[in-house]
Amino acid sequence: MGDLDVYKQQGFGNRSGFGARPALVIVDFVNGFDDPALFGGGNISAAIARTGELLAACRRRDVPVAFTRVVYAEDGSDAGVFCLKAPGLKILTEAAPASQIVPALAPRAGEYVLRKTQPSAFFGTNFANWLISKQVDTLMVTGCTTSGCVRATVIDSMSYNFRTVVVTDGVGDRALGPHEANLFDMGQKYADLLTAAEVIAHLEGKAKRAR
């Protein structure tokens, strides 16, 4: 019996689907994570490009959009255990070029940019309340890294009872092994896995039916 057979036999891997009101979160697609000399590499740059296509579709359909940035105080006073594991993250301060959202995905007025010091977009932030205020029931997730901040965000999203969709070609990691392994695991337990093209088709299909 293969690994996937074990999951199927135990009832994992079902679809949670889309609800009536989706939102998009773009996790940590900042300059530092698009730079292999800092925190990037792997398939992150390709995921940024694909996320741009989905972002454009969401904007056409007035889908709520949020971005996350990792931002630490200039003096490092809010750096915790995460920065013991990865000390380089402390360079991601408010004004640091590495902490700025990549130009290709530059936020527009009315789109929520939240700062965080931990992996999840939800931990220690107002993100859940913002989603509730927008009457969101489904969270589409892109960003990096698949095995880190994306995964943490996805687990918290599901824990808050949002239907969760991981955009498989819109998330990236500096190493492809952790990327693939975490996509598999999230798909079995926490989220639906769809490509950007599949998500766009869903969004545009809903819009056409509504007319």
| 162 located within any domain | yes
117 upstream amide cis, omega within 30 of 0: no
What tokens does 17 get?
Answer: 């689907």
Report the distance separating Cα 164 and Cα 97, nearest Å.
Answer: 31
The residues that are catalytic are 149
Whole-structure pTM value: 0.94
| Segments forming the whole domain that contains residue 115 | 20-210
Residue 3's pLDDT is: 78
| 2 located within any domain | no
| 13 located within any domain | no
Residue 206's pLDDT is: 56
Residue 68's pLDDT is: 98
Q: Which domain CATH number covers 161?
A: 3.40.50.850
| 59 located within any domain | yes
Report the distance separating Cα 89 and Cα 63, nearest Å.
Answer: 31
| 3 located within any domain | no
Residue 207's pLDDT is: 41
Task: Give yes or no for a contact between 69 and 113, defined as CB atoms under 8 angstroms apart.
Answer: yes
Question: What digits encode the pLDDT tens for the residues 102-134?
Answer: 999 999 999 999 999 999 999 999 999 999 999
Q: Which residues of the chain fall short of a pLDDT of 50?
A: 207-211
Residue 1's pLDDT is: 72
Please state the domain count of the chain.
1
| 143 located within any domain | yes
Which amino acid would we find at residue 131?
L
| 1 located within any domain | no
Report the distance separating Cα 89 and Cα 191, nearest Å.
Answer: 28
| 10 located within any domain | no
